[in-house]
Amino acid sequence: MANKFEFNIRVYIEDTDAGGIVYHANHIRFMERTRTEWLRASGISHYWHQKDYNFVVHKINVKYSRPILMDDLITVTASVVSLKASSFVLQQNIYRGEIMLASGEVELACINADMRPCRLPDEIRELIQKELEPN
């Protein structure tokens, strides 16, 4: 993985359960937020204002290693793992400092307005290919 995008998130009370531990589904929300910020930081900000294609999570696998707690400042990473014609895979990890709290592999599929698989747009394919190139 040539590049790794990092995004910091503060954990608030609404992210936690009654015990002050982040609810398991919110790990996926943190990963989603990081993928969105990765696209924004890469200059793909118009993605939200177009109607030709969309990304959907095709597969996700999350491993919860340690609890995330109220008021933690976490860093969520996104690194491109692989690329296909209409999908790509990201490795995403959640850290508190140097401690890995959770990890996940997410496959995103590109679909058109009719909800059918379609080829990735050229600018996104180019971005992903660049991420896969060795430094």
Q: Which residues pair with 83 in a beta bridge?
A: 88
- In this predicted structure, what is the pLDDT of residue 52? 86
User: Which listed residue (15, 17, 52, 122) is catalytic?
Assistant: 17
- Cα separation, 130 vs 29, in Å, equals 26
Going from the N-terminus, what domains does the chain have, and what CATH number goes with each? 5-132 (3.10.129.10)
* pLDDT of res. 1: 38
**DSSP line for 111-122:** EETTS-B-PPPH
- Ordered per-residue pLDDT tens for the chain, 135 residues: 347 999 999 999 999 998 999 999 999 999 999 999 998 898 886 666 778 888 999 999 999 999 999 999 999 999 999 999 999 999 999 999 999 999 999 999 999 999 999 999 998 899 899 888 876
Residue 94 CA to residue 24 CA, distance in Å, equals: 12
User: Between vectors from CA 124 to CA 100 and to CA 42, what angle results, nearest 5°?
Assistant: 60
Residue 17 and residue 115: Cα distance in Å, rounded? Answer: 35
- Is 17 a residue of the active site? yes
Q: How far apart are CA 28 and CA 63, in angstroms?
A: 11
The residue type at 127: L
What is the pLDDT at residue 47?
66
Confidence (pLDDT) at 132:
85
